[in-house]
Amino acid sequence: MTNQFDEYVAAVDRTLRDFLSRPCDPDRVQRAMRYAAFAGGKRVRPVLTLEFSRLCGGDWRLALPFAAGIEMVQTYSLIHDDLPCMDDADLRRGKPACHKAFDEATALLAGDALLTMAFEAVAEAKLLPERTVKAVSVFARAIGVQGMIGGQELDLAHEGVSGLPPEEIRKTNEKKTAALLTASCLLGVIAAGGSDAQYNAARSYGYSLGLAFQLVDDILDATATAEALGKPVGSDRENGKSTYVTALGIEKAREMAAHYTEQALEALSAFPDSGALSAYTRSLLSRNK
């Protein structure tokens, strides 16, 4: 990661701490929120928000509330994914899942609170009102039934279903993973007041990266160790989930991940100063956790 991207991560962490340290009594739910938010996440999505803001000529610091909101939603989704009623996972990033470190009710409330606070963060951005309103609309669509929640519903519906066509798997991945990654990029463009051409290029990039990202996740679930991944492996197989790995095999899944990564890189041609983001994009394809 470049020094610039390291600066992004540090700034996002400071912003998250500011939001998650606001006076609260009682504070058990807030402690659970902080526990999950600072459990060692890569901050991929907020980094994309800040970098696209910079690429569009904006002051990336003004996009920090958007970036923090994106990370809050990502954290909430992981807390809920790990619950017994969802993926029933005991570990997340090498630590006890939130419902194990606290309890199921507290974890559920912590996820709800992070989702709610995400919109508080976006609303507090010191930007032109019309930009904030557009960001809220894009954000809400990406994480609602037309996006991330819809993808989770499809994911649950497909458990135990064998022989699922690849196009159905792609539909799940579009909603479950690509929608939030795309919104992360678009919020950066919106914060900077980018052009329609930049907005469309960022959308194409986020969509392709999102599909590649989920493919790599599926491959790691089938090939990595629990120690390296920081969470249980083989859960897709145990839960009877249909993924590109189960449908096409690991090598074909790797080919598809590389293909979508190349599509994402092609979309970056609309941004002359995107060399660092291109390198970062390639690194996500070869990640091991």
**Nearest C-alpha neighbor of 156 from the set 98, 226, 80, 215:** 80
> Alpha-carbon distance 119 to 130, whole Å?
15
232 pLDDT above the threshold of 80: no
Report the CATH number that the domain containing residue 190 is assigned in CATH: 1.10.600.10
- The whole-model pTM stands at 0.94
Mean pLDDT score, 139-156:
95
Polymer length in residues for the chain: 289
- Cα Rg, the chain, nearest whole Å: 18
- Dihedral through CA 148, CA 154, CA 159, CA 160, nearest 10? -160
> Where does the pLDDT of residue 215 fall: very low under 50, low under 70, confident under 90, or very high at 90 and above?
very high
Token pair of 193, please?
A: 């007041």
Q: What is the pLDDT of residue 227?
A: 65
**Nearest C-alpha neighbor of 199 from the set 185, 211, 212:** 185
> Where does the pLDDT of residue 161 fall: very low under 50, low under 70, confident under 90, or very high at 90 and above?
confident
**124, 63 in Cβ contact below 8 A?**
no
- Average pLDDT over the chain reads 93
Task: Quote the domain boundaries for residue 78.
Answer: 3-285
**113, 127 in Cβ contact below 8 A?**
no
229 pLDDT above the threshold of 70: no
Residue 170, exposed/middle/buried by CB under 10 A (0-12, 13-18, 19+)?
middle
Cβ count within 10 A of residue 161:
11
pLDDT in tens, 113-136: 999 999 999 999 999 999 999 999
* CA 184 to chain CA centroid, nearest Å: 8
Q: Into how many domains does the chain fold? A: 1
E strand segments, the chain = 91-92, 95-96
**260, 212 in Cβ contact below 8 A?**
yes
Mean pLDDT score, 244-250:
89
